[in-house]
Structure 1
Amino acid sequence: MQGFVKFNKGVMSMPKPIKAWLFVLIFFNGFTPILFLHHTEAQATLAAIFGAALLMSFLTARFGFTRILGLGHILWIPLVGWLAMRLNQIPPDDSFGLWVRGVIVVNSLSLIMDIIDVIRYARGDHKELVPDL
């Protein structure tokens, strides 16, 4: 529980542009899937974001609010791959199809940033991203 609280305090203390990006991630992965809950893709996306939240809480408790949190989105790798493989079965011109494509784009961009963060952490950048948490 302590990791969950610290993680959320860290998120709320981030600069506005980062908070805006996090809102985009939560919008595509946490809110919008509820509209398409009868689709397996939406269920998988919600499962992945809940898994990420649990993993990030654990990572924060263990390593602090550091760049290692990029590992929290590791479940998005198989999610993005699976969604991409299903694109030929999902119409591109309806709201569901647009949402699936949006998730692929947004999560792929996030994964690029996450990989950079994890590499930086592995190279020794272990400082807290938000001081005084």
Structure 2
Amino acid sequence: MKAMLDFLKHLIRMPIAVRMWVAVLMLVNMGAFFFLPRVEAWVVLGALVLGGVLQALIFSRKGFVRLLGLGHVHWLPMLVWFYSRIETIRLDPVLFGWILLLTMVNGISLIIDIADIVRYLRGEKHPAVL
């Protein structure tokens, strides 16, 4: 619990644009609750849990560093899987709209995450916020 509070303290110190982006990211992903019991919704919720676990492990060992982006790498196969099911997903226009929004938001986040991971590997290992 302390680690989670520490993580949130770091997040709150981020610029407002970053905090707003994280809020959008969470809201779009948690939209999965509206699509239960669809398999796509369960996959997104599972990805949220996995991401939380991965980021908690990274944060506990490294702190609030750019490497936290690794907590989202499993989104890539998820997005590919959605694409492979696009004909089925398209049959439900509301589900299709949510998956499209989710793909855009998570895709943008993945681009940011990859850039952050590369920056970390190139030596930017200091905490993103103090």
With structure 1 as the length reference, what TM-score do the two structures score? Answer: 0.91
Please list every run of 5 or more consecutive structure 2 residues that lacks an aligned counterpart in the other structure.
none
Please list every run of 5 or more consecutive structure 1 residues that lacks an aligned counterpart in the other structure.
none
Matches within 5 A, 1:1-133: 1-30=1-30, 32-91=31-90, 94-131=93-130
Cα distance in 2 for partners of 1:92, 1:112 equals: 29
Cα distance in 1 for partners of 2:56, 2:7 equals: 6
Q: CA deviation at 1:24?
A: 1.1
Cα distance in 2 for partners of 1:97, 1:41 equals: 10
> 1:40-93 deviations in whole A, cap 9, x for unaligned?
001100110111011111101101100000101011111111111111211277
Alignment coverage as a number of residue pairs: 130
Query: CA contact under 8 A between 1:7 and 1:56: conserved in structure 2?
Result: no
Cα distance in 1 for partners of 2:106, 2:124 equals: 24
Stretches (4+) displaced over 3 A: none
Q: CA RMSD in A?
A: 1.4
Query: CA contact under 8 A between 1:4 and 1:60: conserved in structure 2?
Result: no
* Partner SS state of residue 125, structure 1: coil
Residue identity matched to 2:58: L
| Sequence identity (%) | 35
With structure 2 as the length reference, what TM-score do the two structures score? Answer: 0.93
Cα distance in 2 for partners of 1:42, 1:129 equals: 31
Residue identity matched to 1:108: G
Q: CA deviation at 1:106?
A: 0.9
